[in-house]
Structure 1
């Protein structure tokens, strides 16, 4: 019964990740007897696959069939049906999609991150090698470990409190999917080199935050934009392009645009492997700003950015908007007078540490409610 229940759960995962409208992989039908999958190529041609689930599953892998006469496709199918090390349905389809993408030189769908479950054995398999694929055993084991680190809990990649299915890429722009795919590749390369960074909790939360950012209205309407530095999930460039229209800072941004200069405030967000339990370190890169609670090194005088003022419930979108509000509240102005200040990571860190030390003794000023 446990095997049947596990299979039912796996089928639900597949249908959720790859609905019939998915641009690359579509689960046409999924039952306890068979799974029918369609792989759609960019030219709209497709491959159809049927996996028949036998009575002794998961001890024995499903039997796979395809109408394609392509020898490369046939070789993949034969290898899957003969695979006794990873007979589970999720592992089989993960391998199938990966091989088809490699064969057609396509980027793997972002949903593959959520297909590898926790490192556990299906009932009756009795093998510690289940997490390995038959082809190129050592390399596939490294890939599985990487996916486990990034997606140990698939629920972390879903939208919290959203009525839509947050785990699919249908509601994400193509730019976002490409970014997520590049992050996966970068993480895989780090694991293969034996130099992984971050933590499972931080990876999961940052991937979710990144998806939420790409979905939010503030990103869509140009209030701000984000870019990962060298596809590093732990270092973001945030470009604040709009603030309160009635503020002097908004007028300054318009003036920058008239002068054909970058009309935004660029911030650097540095995340630790302790995120979301500790805040990111945030500092201004450009332009030089006077007032607005911006310190001489570019760090920000905000209790929210300290361990004491931070909460793991805060989202990055809300943090960005709070920074924008703080700048306006502090009457921030762009320095047009030529007195440029050189912001740097080290100077920002030093000034922020001094700030935290001072406020740890004197406390933080809380403005009256009437002041916002």
Structure 2
């Protein structure tokens, strides 16, 4: 998604949930993060943060809250179930507000239904905001009156919606060309990052993590990786430290014959490299060192 598209989502959210909203408030936002408040009792306010990566909406937002309450952690974990849609941030926020209202036995606020509306072409005034809310209420009443007569139609529409969610022909999915085991590694990294945010033990930066995830995806789909020219392993599941095994080099280079000798004598057919990344990557390149074997003469 373009930066302008993401900003349109964020401005739309701010127009609905302004700092004076009775239930949920957008306190501050930037293209890569969002700060919110959920008003529980008037005196009790939950501070909620959201980090948004450059690959949004392909990569879902990361939510965390300033609390050790396990119930809140469960609420945030359930946001992972909402993973599809061009306005993923809006849909996750709707789920978040609804789940928090249920958690604290509060009535569902009608403004959350506005998050299902298409993004407006221009700014939302208070009059337009209330008009949208009334329109949503009217539509809900009509749906209830239709009752069972709409069942078949709903099924047809569901089928249509499923087709709409599929990528357009020729559009490359972010996961295309990546094996299942490597997709599992990427998913594990994402979950670990989310848990780190929840625990307040964030390592690295949003920008560096996002870029490293992109680099890792490109590696996993590259032919050089798939054919075994080299392999990549994360050290202790850290996105910021890699072990790279270089298995194939130019046959005309002296290193090629050295690798053959190494394999015959020690049974090792690769050069092990260690890549360490800083939180300002890609502006600062990784530090690379040879772990094994000991090289000389080059």
Question: What interval of TM-score do these two structures reach, taking the shorter chain for normalisation?
Answer: 0.3 to 0.5
Structure with the greater relative contact order (CA < 8 A, sep ≥ 6): 1 or 2?
2
Structure that is richer in helix per residue: 2
TM-score, with structure 2 as normaliser: 0.46
